[in-house]
Structures are given as structure tokens and as C-alpha cells.
Amino acid sequence: MDGTEELRAQAQAWRRAIVANEAEEIGRFMTEDWVLVDEDGVGTRERFLSLVSSGALTHSRMEPVPGTERVRVYGDTAAITARVVNTAHFGGREFHADEWTTDLYHRTGQGWICVLSQVTPARE
């Protein structure tokens, strides 16, 4: 078994934790040095989780577009790429995003954990 189905389930559970706005649960899916790369640059795990913990950042939707998810396993490293639509709330405003996301995972003795996430706005 190459871990593909386990990774799909992991990604789904992580999205559920993000929508539940549970910082501690979200953090269980990330390495301590996890980073988010987006149009603003490189963000840290600490910053992301502090925004969620404070309630400054919440999500009410995080769903992959059916048929776009691609999972590849390379030994103890894996990549999941998908087009994801989400709704976030930050700074008193609601944001709707349609993005291509890539999450890089590392397999540990406890299972898969994300080391890096990158998001790119999708074009129609």
C-alpha cells in the first residue's frame, strides 16, 4: 500500500479541522516548521495558528473541486494537489477563494504530516 488513500483521508480531516476553527486540531496536521506560501510570501505555522486561536481568522468552507485532487507518493514524501474553494473570515470581512493548493507531506512513525502548503489563485 502506497499511502494514497490514507493521504486523501488525512487531507479531508485537515480541511474539517480548518472549518471547525480548532487551532490545536489544525496544528496536529503540521510539522513545527510548516509554512504556507501564498501571494503574500511565506507564512509560519505559529502565525497561522495564532490567528485561528484568536478568532481573527476563521473558515466556514474548505472543499476540493471534484475530480481535481492528485495524490503522489514518493517513498516517505508525498504531494497532494487540488483545486480548493474556501470561505474565510478575516479582519471583519468575508473572502471567497478559488485556489490551486499543493501540500507536501512527510511520513513519520505516527503517519503523514504536512511540511509545506502552497496556494495559487485559480483562473476561470
Helix H or strand E segment including 25: helix 23-27
Beta strand segments in the chain, E: 30-38, 41-44, 57-64, 70-74, 77-90, 93-108, 111-121
| Per-residue pLDDT reduced to its tens digit, 9-65 | 999 999 999 999 999 999 999 999 999 999 999 999 999 999 999 999 999 999 999
pLDDT band at 2 (very low <50, low <70, confident <90, very high): confident
Q: What pLDDT, on a 0 to 100 scale, did the predictor assign at position 32?
A: 97
Residue type, 53: S
- What mean pLDDT is predicted for residues 75-96? 96
CA–CA separation, 20 and 86 (whole Å): 13
pTM to 2 decimal places: 0.93
| Per-residue pLDDT reduced to its tens digit, 60-73 | 999 999 999 999 99
